[in-house]
């Protein structure tokens, strides 16, 4: 405890510290609940600067976002504002919302008491998620300051396309050669029409209804570098090795559809698709609820940055609409859940009606397809590179993940017309 008291003395707490105890189940960050004899308890968290290399930029983003939301809540006459937006304490010496000894970086936020998170996904909570994350974007749609990218090119499909082509050309682990696919060249997609509108006019399972005390309110502990934004770290059963012709078929299928999956970047260059302030890690458990089940606030703000709204829409559905874990080998069970899509879309469109453009709205089905495709490309790229990024539990783990996400993508692609009808219904 002495170590943490030395850190906490750099922040002005209300009350004396009586206990410091672990909080939540973060994989690599130290996240602790600081109990005091005053009115407030606190969350002490070590920032993962292995992932977020520019801590100044990270905390500036968070300060701007929480400050803007706080001012809007107060202007609207909202009560109990400290339960509806996170509050970080300034360092006594620097005024910045973190302290560092030159090696580790620490921040302190006020703990929101009697708040809960839900880990499992149902249509009901998918609606709440759409409503909550849409409101979050709406609150920030008029923020005057410019935020930086805490993880540059986080959801840039063109970057992932280049990385895949480089991995195919290099075949660093020799897996293509071993499968008899030597000399496969990275090539451009054939430029077929995408079928998407270019001009405007962990595992999702049924919830059992139980609530868990919010483990990491404040900013939730950042994921470990090896599973930062795609792998849930689940130790699935070992999958079968690559089947004859499978790797060549995956390369061909991915490259064939690469151009249409890079639609967002093209629309942005053409001036048709704006970047907005997005959360970029839209999961149900990144929202706090009160005891009555009402949304309090959005948490885990480390990835809040400029992006396309497709990030918040598509990334939620990538996990929530998959009936199995993303590294489950049971691909025959994968069917993109339209009940989850419909509920999430309803909440999201209700709360974003005031600022979404027609191009953004019409391409939400594209967003739902983009994110399983992007993650499949990332898993497969890592597989070809010798499993250097995502943690694996067995040699074919990344290939199993690739199969899983490609199955989800194919299912989503087959339901685009149904998705578009739902978007029109709730728009």
Mean pLDDT computed over every residue of the chain:
88
pTM: 0.85
**Is residue 408 scored above 90 in pLDDT?**
yes
pLDDT for the residue numbered 379: 98
Q: Does residue 110 carry a pLDDT above 70?
A: yes
Half-sphere exposure of 39 (CA within 13 A, CB side): 2
The pLDDT tens digits of the residues spanning 59-102 come to 999 999 999 999 999 999 999 999 999 999 999 999 999 999 99
Q: What would the mean pLDDT of 403-410 be, rounded to a whole number?
A: 98
Residues 123-145 pLDDT 10s: 999 999 999 999 999 999 999 99
Strands (E), 247-394: 276-278, 287-289, 295-298, 305-307
- The answer to whether 279 touches 307, Cβ cutoff 8 Å, is no
Domain with CATH 3.30.200.20 in the chain: 2-114
Q: Is the pLDDT of residue 277 over 80?
A: yes
Question: Of the CATH numbers 3.30.200.20, 3.30.830.10, 3.50.50.60, 3.40.50.300, which one belongs to the domain with range 2-114?
Answer: 3.30.200.20
Q: Which tens digits make up the pLDDT trace of 291-337? A: 998 999 999 999 999 999 999 999 999 999 999 999 999 999 999 99
Query: Where in the chain are all domains bearing CATH 3.90.1200.10?
Result: 123-426
The CATH architecture assigned to 123-426 reads Alpha-Beta Complex (3.90)
pLDDT at 118: 87
pLDDT digits (tens, 9 = 90+) for 146-195: 999 999 999 999 999 999 999 999 999 999 999 988 654 444 333 444 45
Tokens 């999961």 map to which residue?
A: 283
Rounded Cα distance, 220 and 25, in Å: 10
Cα distance between residue 310 and residue 300, in whole Å: 19
Per the CB < 8 A criterion, the answer to whether 334 and 325 are in contact is: no
- The pLDDT tens digits for 366-394 are 999 999 999 999 999 999 999 999 999 99
Region of 102 please: left (phi>0), alpha (psi -120 to 50) or beta. Answer: left
pLDDT at 119: 83
On the 0-12 / 13-18 / 19+ scale of CB atoms within 10 A, 231 is buried
């Amino acid at each position: 405890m002495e170590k943490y008291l030395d850190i906490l003395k750099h922040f002005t707490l209300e009350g004396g510290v009586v206990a410091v105890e672990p909080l939540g189940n973060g994989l690599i960050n130290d996240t602790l609940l600081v109990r005091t004899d005053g009115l407030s308890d606190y969350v002490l968290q070590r920032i993962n600067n292995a992932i977020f290399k520019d801590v100044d930029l990270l905390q500036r983003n968070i300060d701007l976002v929480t400050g803007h939301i706080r001012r809007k809540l107060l202007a609207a006459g909202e009560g109990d504002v400290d339960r509806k937006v996170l509050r970080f304490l300034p360092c006594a010496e620097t005024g910045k919302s973190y302290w560092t000894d030159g090696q580790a970086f620490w921040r302190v936020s006020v703990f929101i008491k009697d708040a809960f998170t839900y880990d499992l996904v149902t249509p009901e909570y998918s609606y709440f998620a759409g409503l909550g994350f849409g409101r979050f974007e709406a609150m920030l749609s008029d923020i005057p300051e410019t935020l930086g990218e805490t993880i540059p090119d986080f959801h840039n499909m063109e970057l992932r396309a280049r990385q895949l082509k480089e991995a195919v050309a290099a075949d660093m682990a020799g897996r293509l050669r071993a499968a008899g696919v030597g000399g496969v060249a990275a090539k451009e997609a054939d430029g077929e029409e995408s079928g998407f509108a270019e001009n405007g006019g962990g595992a999702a399972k049924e919830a059992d209804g139980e609530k868990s005390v919010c483990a990491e309110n404040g900013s939730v502990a950042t994921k470990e570098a090896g599973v930062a934004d795609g792998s849930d770290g689940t130790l699935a059963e070992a999958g079968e090795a690559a089947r004859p012709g499978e790797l060549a078929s995956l390369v061909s299928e991915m490259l064939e559809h690469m151009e249409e999956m890079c639609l967002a970047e093209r629309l942005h260059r053409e001036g048709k698709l704006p970047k907005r302030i997005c959360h970029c890690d839209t999961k149900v458990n990144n929202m706090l609820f009160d005891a009555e089940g009402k949304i309090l606030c959005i948490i885990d703000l480390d990835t809040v940055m400029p992006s396309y709204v497709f990030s918040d829409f598509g990334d939620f559905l990538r996990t929530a609409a998959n009936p199995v874990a993303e590294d489950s080998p049971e691909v025959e069970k994968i069917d993109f859940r339209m009940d989850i899509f419909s509920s999430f879309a309803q909440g999201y469109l209700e709360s974003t009606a005031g600022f979404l453009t027609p191009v953004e709205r019409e391409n939400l089905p594209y967003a739902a397809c983009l994110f399983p495709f992007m993650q499949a490309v990332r898993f497969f790229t890592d597989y070809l590179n010798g499993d250097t990024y995502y943690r694996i539990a067995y040699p074919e783990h990344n290939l199993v993940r690739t199969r899983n996400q490609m199955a989800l993508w194919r299912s989503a692609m087959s339901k685009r017309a149904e998705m578009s009808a739902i978007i029109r219904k709730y728009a």
